[in-house]
Amino acid sequence: MSLSHSEQTAALSATQRSLLLRLARAAIVHGLTHDRPVPVSLDDYPERLRAPGASFVTLHRQGRLRGCIGSLTAQRPLLEDIVHNAHAAAFHDPRFPSMTAAELDDLTLHIAVLQPAQVLNFHSEAELLAQLRTGIDGLILQDGAHRATFLPAVWESLPEPREFLKRLKEKAGLAPDYWSDSIQAWRYTTEAFP
């Protein structure tokens, strides 16, 4: 039996969220000694967690970013995606060295489960900005090989839409004032926890 689209995007229960956070941490702990995420047997978990899903796992230490890796599209079971991304955030985020065991005690994990992205249609930067829902939307921006995303949580540090877009362009390797008729954008929402 497979889940319908609405069942796949339904909110996770508190029990499921707690389980995903525990498994994400277990992937990091396991990675410290085995250099790979903890293996999981999908049959041991609820169908909702075995359905395809896209996620980002963000790590913080002492209130500072320590790693963030994710998937923009659902290409594997949500549970596997989270375990993979937790391990990658700890050991393969190119902005940081691999995590050490000494960092585990004050490590905070945040998981964002992405809803399917919606293409945005616009003809100017002003039209794109007008479609953004501050504090709600994550945004994917692409022009040729330049591509980047900001999760909805980034609005907390960049609450002004124009600045949000400028910084996303920079993340994609573009100039902050760059504009082209070939720019594409998609917005998405997330279920973020804890």
Q: Mind listing the pLDDT tens digit for each residue in 127-140?
A: 999 999 999 999 99
- Are 5-114 and 118-189 the same fold in CATH? no
The per-residue pLDDT for 35 is 86
CA angle 27, 72, 42 (to 5 degrees): 40
Pair type for strands 184-188 and 138-143: antiparallel
The per-residue pLDDT for 3 is 44
What pTM was computed for the model? 0.89
Domain boundaries, the chain: 5-114, 118-189
Contact 60, 50 (CB under 8 A): no
pLDDT values of the chain reduced to their tens digit, one per residue, 194 residues: 344 444 445 689 999 999 999 999 999 999 999 988 888 999 999 999 999 999 999 999 999 999 999 999 999 999 999 999 999 999 999 999 999 999 999 999 999 999 999 999 999 999 999 999 999 999 999 999 999 999 999 999 999 999 999 999 999 999 999 999 999 999 999 999 98
The per-residue pLDDT for 38 is 86
The per-residue pLDDT for 9 is 56
The per-residue pLDDT for 36 is 85
Exposed, middle or buried, 60 (CB in 10 Å: 0-12/13-18/19+)? middle
CATH 3.30.700.20 fits 5-114, yes or no: yes
User: In CATH, what number does 118-189 get?
Assistant: 3.30.1490.150
